[in-house]
Amino acid sequence: MNSQEREAHSERRVVWAVATTGIGPLLLAATEDGLVNVVFHATDAVRDGALSRLASRLGAEPVEAPGSPLLAEAIRQLEAYFAGERRDFELPLDWSLISGFNRQVLRELASGVPYGTVVGYGDLAGRVGQPGAAQAVGVAMGANPLPVVVPCHRVVESDGGIGGFGGGLETKRALLALEGVLPEPLF
């Protein structure tokens, strides 16, 4: 990184807020390029760890700014999604926390697996020209910095199993139930 790039990088602004949702508190962080991170179960300890990682990775100290225009639309769209009033997110996304194969897979997931549908890990691997890379797709899902908005909950095992999920299987089931893929839990 040359000095000009370092200077531009150091001036990057990162804002964050915690949104209350049907699956618990979500930490949302954004840069001027768009939403950069969504973190499940945003208790104080989880939030502090996530903010520390963001500061390290992005080179800027995140600032709490729930009223920021960079976050307001993301919060509004998430509220509508959890209320059953929105199926698609139309937000600028900052992909800077992920690269290479993982970014390729997540972009395909975001654009090619609509609300109320699921895709197998192997099928998604095939869509990005890497048939047989189902395990690598699983790794990409685990590295997703933008869960819910980039719907890694829609990726399941080909044998009908639900697969893993960074937010926990209960959260994955709740998201799939919200989208009508699974029945609502009885209790």
Output phi, psi for 173, to 5 deg.
-60, -40
User: C-alpha 66: how far from its chain's center?
Assistant: 18
From the list 28, 124, 140, 152, the catalytic residue is 152
Tokens of 180: 């009508």
**Type of residue numbered 1:** M
Active site residue 152: yes
In 22-171, where do the E strands start and end? 24-31, 34-39, 63-64, 119-120, 155-156
> C-alpha 40: how far from its chain's center?
9
Please list the active-site residues.
152
